[in-house]
């Protein structure tokens, strides 16, 4: 199937891109890895596309002493290949390398993935675990929001139709922070059925665990993180994780609790392995 007809714009500045979005029913286009299939299947009515790849303000990455800012157009492949600085001790590079397959990673962008807000997407859970900030710009100006406040639900964010996600700000992980990940997927490169990013820092007694592939935004598990930082493991940790999931308020059937609890404990185990 082919998409319904639409106008196509290719602005070369952020101001022009925002002007086009403000002018009417237009959708931003980044890597096209999700939007183009939706257009082809006619799942998304679009009058006009605003292609972002010639907008210089959305490209590249900048490293600072305390972290890095990644432009919305940085591709998964650029993270995977180390073409942008990694302030997360290899976590972002690892995450990028297991998104879909290489052809998708070559074009898919971190900004597009976050704006889409697929609950099973890798970047969404990762940036929540990293306590990253997301830059948003519209005609009214720029704002930065915490990643956990950016997502409201499945495919639902605080972005207005006339706004663009511009960048992701990630703080540098301390040398003492260890990370672990666990992704349950039908096969390599597929979207996750459970997805966990665990950051454990026993020296600082700080931990942050985010669970994705749920019915809504990624879920933070502070009790499980605190237990892991305190050195709790084995059956005692598994019980704490299960209890936190059961009391999370999410609609989780017993089988889902088992699946996600297993993923959480395995991600923690990877983070704290000697
Ligand atoms: C076969 C396949 C397998 C995949 N598997 C995975 C997987 O395992 N894990 C995973 O995380 N992802 C997966 N993906 C998705 C992939 O990561 C895409 O790159 C991502 O979902 C969208 O990024 P994009 O740059 O292509 O965005 P686009 O498709 O261009 O846009 C996606 C949406 O975001 C909006 N948008 C794009 N950029 C901006 C911006 N800067 N500001 C505001 N709105 C914007 C668009 O309007 C659109 O609504 C898969 C995709 C495919 C095709």
* Distance between CA atoms of residues 189 and 100, nearest Å: 4
Helices (DSSP H) in the chain: which residue ranges?
14-23, 35-40, 76-80, 91-97, 102-107, 110-116, 122-129, 147-150, 222-229, 234-246, 254-272
pLDDT digits (tens, 9 = 90+) for 35-62: 999 999 888 889 999 999 999 999 999 9
For residue 177, count other CB atoms closer than 10 A to its CB: 20
CB 52 within 8 A of CB 17: yes
CATH superfamily of the domain spanning 178-272 = CO dehydrogenase flavoprotein, C-terminal domain (3.30.390.50)
Radius of gyration of the chain (CA): 19
C-alpha dist (Å) from residue 118 to 98, 115, 179: 16, 9, 23
CB 111 within 8 A of CB 73: yes
* Distance between CA atoms of residues 30 and 111, nearest Å: 8
Tokens representing 261 are: 């609890």
Sign of the CA dihedral running 198, 181, 263, 250 = positive
Which residue has a Cα nearest atom 53 of ligand 1? 33
pLDDT digits (tens, 9 = 90+) for 87-143: 999 999 999 999 999 999 999 999 999 999 999 999 999 999 999 999 999 988 999
Is residue 201 lining ligand 1, measured as CB closer than 6 Å? no
Average confidence (pLDDT) over 63-86: 98
pLDDT digits (tens, 9 = 90+) for 17-31: 999 999 988 999 999
Q: Best mutation site among 18, 32, 33 for ligand 1, i.e. most ligand atoms within 8 A of its Cβ?
A: 33
pLDDT band of 84, cuts 50, 70, 90: very high
CB 172 within 8 A of CB 87: yes
Domain spans in the chain, listed from the N-terminal domain onward: 1-51+60-173, 178-272
CB 216 within 8 A of CB 157: no
| pLDDT of res. 24 | 82
pLDDT digits (tens, 9 = 90+) for 220-243: 999 999 999 999 999 999 999 999
Is residue 69 lining ligand 1, measured as CB closer than 6 Å? no
Residue 124: closest CA among 168, 89, 162: 168
User: The domain 1-51+60-173: what is its CATH number?
Assistant: 3.30.465.10
Q: Best mutation site among 27, 80, 105, 112 for ligand 1, i.e. most ligand atoms within 8 A of its Cβ?
A: 112
Which atom number of ligand 1 is nearest to the Cα of residue 58? 41
Reduced to 3 states (helix: H, G, I; strand: E, B; else coil), residue 95 is: helix
Average confidence (pLDDT) over 262-273: 97
């Amino acid at each position: 199937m082919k998409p319904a007809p639409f106008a196509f714009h290719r602005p070369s500045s952020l101001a022009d891109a925002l002007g086009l979005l403000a002018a009417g029913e237009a959708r931003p286009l980044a890597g096209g890895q999700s939007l183009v299939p939706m257009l082809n299947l006619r799942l998304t009515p679009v009058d006009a596309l605003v292609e972002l790849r010639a907008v210089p303000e959305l490209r590249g990455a900048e490293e600072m002493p305390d972290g890095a800012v990644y432009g919305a157009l940085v591709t998964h492949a650029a993270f995977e290949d180390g073409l942008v600085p990694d302030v997360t001790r290899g976590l972002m590079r690892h995450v990028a390398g297991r998104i879909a397959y290489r052809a998708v990673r070559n074009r898919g962008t971190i900004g597009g993935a976050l704006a889409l807000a697929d609950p099973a997407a890798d970047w969404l859970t990762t940036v929540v675990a990293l306590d990253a900030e997301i830059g948003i710009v519209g005609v009214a100006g720029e704002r930065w929001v915490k990643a956990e406040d950016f997502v409201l639900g499945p495919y639902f964010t605080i972005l207005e139709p006339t706004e663009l996600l511009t960048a992701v700000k990630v703080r540098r992980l301390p040398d003492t922070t260890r990370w672990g990940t666990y992704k349950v997927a039908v096969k390599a490169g597929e979207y996750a059925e459970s997805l966990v990013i665990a950051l454990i820092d026993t020296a600082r007694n700080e931990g942050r665990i985010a669970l994705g592939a749920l019915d809504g935004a990624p879920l933070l598990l502070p009790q499980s993180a605190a237990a892991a930082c305190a050195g709790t493991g084995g059956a005692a940790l598994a019980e704490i994780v299960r209890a936190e999931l059961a009391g999370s308020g999410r609609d989780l059937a017993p089988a889902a609790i088992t699946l996600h609890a297993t993923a959480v404990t395995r991600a923690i185990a990877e983070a704290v392995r000697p």
